[in-house]
Structure 1
Amino acid sequence: MDRRWTDVALTAAAPVTWGTTYLVTAELLPPDRPLWAGAIRALPAGLLLLALTRRRPHGLWWGRTAVLGALNIGVFFPLLFLAAYRLPGGTAAVLGATQPLLVAVLTVALLRDRPTRPALVAAVAAPLGVALVVLRPGAGLDPLGVTAGLAGAVAMAAGLVLTRRWGRPPGVGVLAATSWQLVAGGLMIVPVAAAVEGAPPAPDGPALLGYAWLGLAGTALAYVLWFRGAARLPVSRVSVLGALSPLTAAALGWVVLGEALDPVQLTGFAVAVAAMVLAQMPDRSPRPQPAGDADSPAAALAGTSAGGVRSLPTTLAGTRQGSGRAAWWLRGQPARSRRQSSGHASAATPSGSTPAGSCAAAASGSVNRCAAAGPAAYDRSSSHRTSSAVQPRPERAAISRTSRRPTRVSSS
């Protein structure tokens, strides 16, 4: 399997695992304790990874870890549970599925990168497919629940984009970076859960099994895979894979709980899955390429200005040493700078001047008149000095134009 598709498959395993949260919570966990469920899910998993890696943040990463932990865990979990309590499950899932659209906007704003066309089409099609799967007639739209659902999607999208922008400190692996975020986010949820829900629940056997699954597989493993994918794949492609979470929940409800799936829901499944596959396809639209005669070093060395005068790199090409300096100058400058400098050099030398004409002849192999002029006529102190610097020495008379004797070069 291609390495890119391996990364996609491993990243997709994270939202698939998150999709089991609905079933595990409903069947195994104590009721009406969503905040404590989020804290117990995040904090032990983060402490476990922290004990395994034994790496702590340093410097500015204390602040970055707090921001990422809040966006991905500490703020996202409470908003998610609030939306789930105030809205029907299908409505909350659709609001969460808008994350790819939010990621597309934040990618342009924060990363200065435009998502590909397939990614943009998928960002619209994936929420549509999820809506067909999970929305039922008469679904309520509580204002507070809708606000919480959208705010949670914004928090998760911002956390994903910032995770890609900031990366990780040098020498720090994905396990350590994930542990920092889980610990920071879990510590933020604990006081909120204690204030809203009181003391943590006393778990029984099924609850312990549910917490273990959500902590180890649904949090520690899933977030490691998710952040790994965010570091290796474009964030627009990663965000679309989040639609697998509600789709997995609906599929488990059909398989485990015996819930029926009508043709509309099956159509939604097909649309959402096709959108996720489309988002992983590379953009094959043609991109404008710079003209070879304007941007390539060879073309710059061989080109002339509108008045027929060779530019600075061409002047330097009269000798091996000058050609070497010209190549050095071209390698160190972008294409736009090369064009600008070429234009300045051409403008600085009159089209009828003898030195420029002699350099052109030298470049064509007729007269090696610039053999001495090239290196001395150009130095690093002025990138716009041209062959017009070729002057006769004061103690000697100027050589006539018809003379075949090469002129001397001023070393100033």
Structure 2
Amino acid sequence: MSLAAAPAISARMSARDWALMGLLSLIWGGSFFLIAVIVGHMPVFWVVGLRVGIAAAVLWGVVLIGRRPLPRGVGLWGAFVVMGVLNNVIPFSLIVLAQQQIPAGLASILNATTPLFTVLVSTMVLADERAGLMRLGGVLLGLGGVAVMIGLDKAAGQGHPLWPQLAMLGAAVSYACAAAFGRRFRARAVDPLVSAAGMVTGSALVLLPLALWQHGLPPAAPARVWLALGALGLVCTGLAYVLFFRILARAGATNISLVTFLVPVSAILLGWLFLDERLGATQLLGMAVIGLGLAMIDGRLIGRRSPPG
């Protein structure tokens, strides 16, 4: 069987790429909205366990239909479990816990700090990904935006509780550690979609027994909660990974990183339209400062061209 050449990655995204990017940001922004619908009706471990279990079924279906090579070896599956803990079990659980106390929009803003922590973690543990002054400046500016959001509200005595905001930052740190750990899959030449399927399967193997041990069978819940949970696993996790890798193959890692800017917008709009959530001027100011920090890390809003000669 001959292998077709992979399409070249384009630095300039087409209208179709931008449409896919907008759809992905809406889907990931929608995950915060759906969690807000679910919280209070189902224990955290069941929410997250069923989410990754549904996503695993979706992704293995895509893998099998595409006849992609299946992963083998105890070591590889052990790496999938570790990756699943770092990229799903810890952050997904912290996000559900946090959204019991803070609105979806604020949760999505704090989640958008993930690239900031990714730069810090990569600089500390990956010798070939040391950050330059521009990127470190972006990290400091972005973390300053977090401090603005949390600090000004606390100073005014009218902010959201501190612990759920710290939980969201903990989720972002866990995502950053997962990004660094995930480098080993590139060395093993594992298909990215197969890695995603293995990762969510590893997550389900951890979470579903834990949920059963901790809470027993899933509790009764309104139909809208089960629909939201199904959409969270099927669309916001399974389909989102398929879209993510499709855009990644077409437009590259740098362009796909722009979705970080768009997800909070989607989450805030959905929360405003359907959950009557409101963000104050402090949160919007903090989001703007975090956005500037991300722009410095990305580098496209600030030219980095070398002088001619």
- Fold-level match, TM-score > 0.5? yes
Closer/same/farther in 2, CA of residues 228 and 53 from structure 1, 3 Å limit: same
- Further displaced range: 8-17 or 150-159: 8-17
Residue 252 in 1 paired to residue 252 in 2? Answer: no
Structure 2 residue aligned with 1:57 = 71
Shift of 1:229: 6.8
Q: What is aligned with 1:36? A: 46
CA distance in 2, matches of 1:24, 1:206: 10
Matched with 2:304 is 284
Deviations 1:252-308 (A, max 9, x none): 222333444555454445444444444433561649x9xxxxxxxxxxxxxxxxxxx
- 1:277–1:6 CA distance, 2 compared to 1 (3 A): farther
> In structure 1, what is the equivalent of residue 139 of structure 2?
123
Which of the residues 116, 124, 129 maps onto 1:113? 129
Q: Which has the larger radius of gyration?
A: 1
Q: What residue is the counterpart of 1:3 in the other structure?
A: 10
> Aligned in 2, Cα 1:105/1:167: closer, same or farther, shift over 3 Å?
same
Number of aligned positions between the proteins: 282
Q: CA deviation at 1:184?
A: 1.0
Uncovered stretches (5+) of structure 1, i.e. residues with no partner: 290-412
Q: In the alignment, which of 90, 107, 116 is matched to residue 101 of structure 1?
A: 116
The alpha carbon displacement at 1:14 in A equals 4.3
Cα displacement string for residues 197-242 of structure 1 (whole angstroms, at most 9, x for unaligned residues):
331134553234212321222101223444667784259x83x854
Q: Distance in 2 between matches of 1:266 and 1:95?
A: 12
SS in 2 for 1:4: coil
Q: 1:78 — aligned with what?
A: 93
Aligned to 1:394: none
Rounded to whole Å, the distance in 1 between the matches of 2:63 and 2:86 is 23
Query: Does 1:190 find its partner at 2:208?
Result: yes
> Does the CA-based 8 Å contact 2:59-2:193 persist in structure 1?
yes
Compared CA separation, residues 248 and 121, structure 1 to 2 (3 A): farther
Q: Which residue of 2 aligns with 1:380?
A: none
Equivalent residue number for residue 57 of structure 2: 47
The residue number in structure 2 matching 1:214 is 232
Partners in 2 of 1:44 and 1:257 — Cα distance? Answer: 25
Cα distance in 2 for partners of 1:16, 1:121 equals 29
Q: Supply the AA of the counterpart residue of 1:153.
A: A
Which of 241, 247, 251 lines up with 1:223 in the alignment? 241
- Once residues 4 and 126 of structure 1 are traced to their aligned partners in structure 2, the CA distance between those partners, rounded to angstroms, is 25
Q: Is the 8 A contact 2:109 2:287 kept in 1?
A: no
Q: What secondary structure, in the 3-state scheme, does the structure 2 residue paired with 1:178 have?
A: helix
The partner residue of 2:192 within 174, 185, 194 is 174
Label 1:204 to 1:139 Cα distance change in 2 as closer, same or farther (>3 A): closer
CA deviation digits over 1:89-134, x for unaligned, max 9?
A: 5876565444333211222222522335554344344455567678
| Distance in 1, Cα, partners of 2:132 & 2:108 | 25
TM-score (normalised: structure 2): 0.71
Q: Which runs of 5+ in 2 are unaligned?
A: 1-8
Give the match's secondary structure for 2:129.
Answer: coil
1:390-401 correspondence to structure 2 within 5 Å: none
Per the alignment, do residues 225 and 129 of structure 1 end up closer, same or farther by CA in structure 2, a change over 3 Å counting?
farther
Distance in 1 (CA, whole Å) between partners of 2:76 and 2:51 is: 23
- Is this contact kept in 1: 2:54–2:238, CA < 8 A? no
Structure 1: distance between partners of 2:266 and 2:109:
14
Please give the secondary structure, in 2, of the residue aligned with 1:115.
coil
2:174 match: 155
Deviates more, 1:181-190 or 1:72-81: 72-81
Relative to structure 1, is the Cα distance of residues 178 and 34 closer, same or farther in structure 2, using a 3 angstrom cutoff?
same
CA RMSD of aligned residues (A): 3.9
| TM-score, with structure 1 as normaliser | 0.56
2:36 paired residue number: 26
For 1:166 and 1:183, locate their aligned partners in 2 and report how far apart those are by CA, in whole Å.
Answer: 16
Conserved 8 A contact 1:29-1:211: no
* Structure 2 CA distance for partners of 1:131 and 1:249, relative to 1, 3 Å: farther
What is the CA distance between 1:13 and its match in structure 2? Answer: 5.3
Classify the secondary structure of the residue corresponding to 2:126.
helix
User: Equivalent residue for 1:199?
Assistant: 217
**Contact in 2 for aligned 1:126/1:243 (Cα 8 Å):** no
Q: How many angstroms apart in 2 are the aligned matches of 1:269 and 1:138?
A: 15
Deviation at 1:56, TM superposition (A): 2.9
Q: Which amino acid aligns with 2:139?
A: A
